[in-house]
Amino acid sequence: MTIQLYNTLTRQKERFEPIEEGKVKMYVCGPTVYNYIHIGNARPAVVFDMVRRYLEYRGYDVHYVSNFTDVDDKIIKSAEELDQDVMAVAERFIDAYYEDTEALGVKKADEHPRVTDTMPEIIAFIERLVAKGYAYESDGDVYFRTRKFENYGQLSHQSIDDLQAGARIQVGEKKEDPLDFVLWKKAKDNEIAWESPWGNGRPGWHIECSAMVKKHLGETIDIHAGGQDLSFPHHENEIAQSEALNEKKMANYWIHNGYINIDNEKMSKSLDNFILVHDIIKQYDPEIVRFFIVNAHYRSPINFSDEQLNAAGKALERIRTTYQNTAHRLAESADLGSDADSWKEKIISHRERFIEAMDDDFNSANAVAVMFDLVKTANLYLEEKQTAKSVLQSFLDEFDDMAFVLGIKVKEEEELLDEEIEQLIEERVEARKNRHFQRADEIRDLLKEKGIVLEDTPQGTRWKRGDV
């Protein structure tokens, strides 16, 4: 079996074949850091992190690069409003980005290049486009000559004339053609700027990704990813710039995630209906937010609501409970089970189904369903009077693997309880032994108020954190 993925370029699922065997070069468009990220920004971070984890799980050596746009109009505006330095604002929200995405289980990229660290490469890139006739200077700005690039529109599957017909783009006097887009912007007075052959200015939005991809990954990469709304014009323009210069295909596979909606409408900063990750994770365990995201296929739109998050929380709890019950049994019971092989075969068949699901365009919704089947199978095993340690361990290992790919935590942190609580639990065990159920129930209620939920099992009493 091989991995199939939906390529926006061809609008169909294709078999994944990396350029270099066993290696994957992957680039994900990152955020413009002028504010805390909202959950719509979090989705690509999460789903492409999952894609990366899955590729690693399948044995690929993944070189994963994701950028920060740390200078542009919005940051400059934000800096003015906050009365702070542009770079300070960028720095602050880059830190916030790491904090928020880490909470959501997103691993850091191998490289997180910034525009401001890529300036020489960006300028060189533009210079060469000018030299090749694909770009021209106009009053301190530099524009890309879109119509000169013959394959323009290949990603959005639009003819250049349709694009122009539908364009509500104003024809700037500086541009030769309304479809031309800016590579270099002349600085206004007192604005943050870099020196260039065309005077002081800063890069346009699209050029940074072309330059960074080339610098960090090369002229042709395996996977280029981002939100659906980036496919046009951002990705289309990236292709135009890179392929005009390199005369090579920029990326073999383009993948785009669907939106997160609020009340069925796209969440965006301009619609002012966004929810910040920073805020939502105060209300819900970030693991729940992650689980909610991976529980749907990455290309489907998902609607964000309290009802859905609560359901996701319960669902995740079910997985964790089974994991804990399995771990508890492993620790507390003797190694007695027979028939170990048939149970292990069941576990392996779940693993195969999990891989099958993820191989099919990273269908994590199905992968999660397989995980729930494994939960059920594990629960059935726990119903057995006698269990084998090796089988219990196999269940845990399988859960760990699946959880790694999906980026969710199923293992609870080792935690010690207050001595006082420990004593109460001890006292209750004694009380139950002596059939003093009234006292036992009193203690259980008391602990519940403290957020400690007790469960009596044939292997003894265990506790977990619950709602206070």
Which two tokens mark 18? 């990396």
Contacts of 307 (CB under 8 A, 6+ apart): none
Instruction: Spell out, one character per residue from 309 to 338, where the chain touches RNA: x when CB under 7 A holds, - when not.
Output: -xx--xx--x--xx--x-------------
Residue (18 or 210) nearer to RNA, CB:
210
Nearest-approach distance from CB 371 to RNA, in angstroms: 8
Please, what is the minimum distance in Å from the beta carbon of residue 8 to RNA? 9
21 or 307: CB nearest RNA? 307
Instruction: Give the footprint of RNA on residues 106-125 (CB under 7 A).
Output: none
Query: Of 246 and 366, which has the nearer Cβ to RNA?
Result: 366
300 touches RNA by CB under 7 A: yes
DSSP state of 104: T
Cross-sheet strand order for the sheet of 61-66? 61-66, 23-28, 221-227, 251-257
What is d(CA 81, CA 183) in angstroms, rounded to the nearest whole number?
A: 26
Query: What residues between 141 and 160 interact with RNA by CB under 7 A?
Result: 156-159
201 exposure class (CB count in 10 Å sphere: 0-12, 13-18, 19+) = buried
Is 446 an interacting residue with respect to RNA (CB under 7 A)?
no
Give the residue among 107, 122, 90 at the shortest CA–CA distance from 212: 122
Closer Cβ to RNA, 272 or 414, answer by number: 272
| Residue with Cβ nearer RNA (88 or 271) | 271
How many residues contact RNA, by CB under 7 A? 85
Please tell me the total number of residues recorded for the chain in this structure.
468
Q: Per-residue string for binding with RNA, 406-445, x by CB under 7 A? A: --------------------------x----xx-xx--x-
| Residues 32-61 contacting RNA, CB under 7 A | 32, 40-41, 43-44
Which structure tokens are listed for 15? 């078999």
Pattern 226-265, RNA, x by CB under 7 A: xxxxxxxxx----------------------xxxxx--xx
Q: Which of 101, 196, 252, 295 binds RNA (CB under 7 A)?
A: 295
The contact mask relative to RNA for 172-201 (x = CB under 7 A, - = no) is: ---------x--------------------
- Residue 138 or 303: the one with the smaller Cβ distance to RNA is 303
Six-digit token string for 217: 């990954």
As measured in angstroms, the least distance from the Cβ of 337 to RNA is 16
- Comparison of 61 and 73: residue with beta carbon closer to RNA: 73
Cis peptide before 301 (omega within 30 of 0): no
Alpha-carbon gap, residue 379 to 373, rounded angstroms = 10
Cα–Cα distance for residue pair 266/263, rounded to 1 Å: 8
The correct pick among 15, 168, 282, 385 for binding RNA (CB under 7 A) is 168
98 forms part of the interface with RNA (CB under 7 A): no
Residue 280 vs 302, nearer CB to RNA = 302
Is 212 a binder of RNA (CB under 7 A)? no
Interaction mask 352-391, RNA, x per CB under 7 A: --------x--x-xx-xx--xx-xx--xx-xx--------
Rounded to whole angstroms, the Cα distance separating 183 from 372 reads: 49
Restricting to residues 69-88, which ones interact with RNA according to CB under 7 A? Answer: 74
DSSP string covering 352-415: HHHHHHHHBT--HHHHHHHHHHHHHHHHHHHHSSS--HHHHHHHHHHHHHHHHHHT---SPPP-
* Minimum distance, C-beta of residue 160 to RNA, in the bound complex (Å): 10
Residue 268 binds to RNA (criterion: CB under 7 A):
yes
Q: Which of 25, 63, 215, 297 binds RNA (CB under 7 A)?
A: 297
List the one residue from 51, 71, 122, 163 that touches RNA (CB under 7 A): 163
- The kind and range of the H/E element at 438 are helix 437-449
* Side chain identity, residue 295: N
Give the contacts of 27 (CB within 8 A, at least 6 positions apart): 65, 66, 67, 209, 212, 213, 216, 217, 221, 223, 224, 225, 251
Distance CA 315, CA 347 (A): 21
